[in-house]
Amino acid sequence: MLGSLNLDLVVSVEAHPHPGDTVLGSDVRTFPGGKGANQAVAAALAGGRVGMLGRIGRDSYGAQLRAALEGSGVEVGALLETSGPSGTAFITVDRHGENTIVVSPGANRRLAPCDVTADHFGGVGVLLLQLESPLETVARATELATERGAIVILNAAPVAPLENALLERLSLLVVNEGEAAALAGLSGTEGAVAAAERLQERGAEAVVVTLGGEGTLWRTPQGGGSLAAHPVEVVDTTAAGDAFCGALAARLAQGESLEAALHFANAAGALAVTRPGAQPSLPTRAETEKFLAQGA
C-alpha cells in the first residue's frame, strides 16, 4: 500500500453550510484516516497481509496514525517521518450521513519518488494506490510494481489528470461516476459504461466504477457486469470507498476472481456506511462474510 495518512477531525451538523454561513455542530471527534491508511486497514481487516508506505509528521498526530495502523495489523516498517505536521482532514457529516472533506496534506505532500524503491515491492502481489500522494510518486510506484509483476490498482481519488502512460500500467482502475467522467473527458451524461470503456481505450486494463446507492459496474477485456447496492441505513459515508478498495485488493491478493472480489468489496463498503468515522467503520472479514451469508 502506498498512500496518505491523515488525522480526521469530524463534526456532525444538521446541514452543510453554504458560503458565508455559520452553523453549529457537535463536539469534535478524532479518527485515524487518510485514503491510503484507511485502505491499508480495510485490506488487513479483510484478511490481507499489508504493508504501508507513506509519510507522517513528527507530531502527536503522526504517533496516533502509526499506532492505529499497528493496532490493525498493518506493517509500518516502510512508514517514513518528516519534520512538520502530519496530514489532517476536516470533515463535516450531515443528518443524512453525507460528508464534506477538506484535506491539509502535511507530510503526505513530501512523499517523493526517491522514497520509493524496487525493494519495497519484493514479494508484493498487489499494490493499491490513491491520489492523495504526489502524482509523480504514484507514477514511480506503478513503474516499479509493474516491473516486479504486481497487480497494480489505482483508486483515482481525489481525481486528477492522468497520463495514458500511467493508465497503461494499471491492472485495475477504481473510480466513482464523477471521477470516471472527468478522467474520460465526458460530460457525465454519457453514463458510467461509456466512461469505463473510454478509460480502457486510454490504457487501463480493467475499470471499476462505483455508483453509490446504484451499486457498482466493471469492464474488463473479457466483458463486464454490475452489482446492486446493499440496502442499509446510512450513518456516515466517509470511508465507504476506502472499505471497498481495501477489501477488493485483499481478495484479489488471495487469488479470487475480479467478480468474486467485487461481490465481497461491495458488501464491505455497505457495512462501512452504517458506522461513524473512517477506520473505526471498516468491517472485518468475518463481519462481511456474515453480512453476505444473511443474504444482504
Question: Which stretches does DSSP call E strand in the chain?
Answer: 6-12, 29-33, 54-57, 79-82, 87-93, 99-104, 126-129, 151-155, 172-176, 207-210, 216-220, 223-227
- Predicted confidence band at 188 (pLDDT cuts at 50, 70, 90)? low
Please tell me whether the overall predicted TM-score, pTM, comes out greater than 0.75 for this model.
yes
Predicted local distance difference test score (pLDDT) of residue 186: 85
| CA atoms of 223 and 201, how far apart (whole Å) | 14
SS3 of residue 180 by DSSP: helix
121 neighbors 127 (Cβ within 8 angstroms): yes
Predicted local distance difference test score (pLDDT) of residue 279: 87
Does residue 237 surpass a pLDDT of 90?
Answer: no
Does residue 169 surpass a pLDDT of 60?
Answer: yes
Predicted local distance difference test score (pLDDT) of residue 239: 85
Residue with cell 504493508: 51
- Predicted confidence band at 276 (pLDDT cuts at 50, 70, 90)? confident
Locate 76 and state its grid cell. 509500518
Give yes or no: 242 in active site: yes
- Predicted confidence band at 132 (pLDDT cuts at 50, 70, 90)? very high
Does residue 144 surpass a pLDDT of 60?
Answer: yes
| CA atoms of 122 and 145, how far apart (whole Å) | 9
Predicted local distance difference test score (pLDDT) of residue 296: 57
Locate 184 and state its grid cell. 474520460
Predicted local distance difference test score (pLDDT) of residue 98: 87
Predicted local distance difference test score (pLDDT) of residue 57: 96
Spot the catalytic one: 8, 115, 236, 242: 242
β partners of residue 220: 223
| CA atoms of 11 and 236, how far apart (whole Å) | 11
Q: What is the mean pLDDT of residues 62-75?
A: 95
Mean residue pLDDT of the chain comes to 93
Span of 43-57, 252-266, 269-283 with lowest mean pLDDT: 269-283
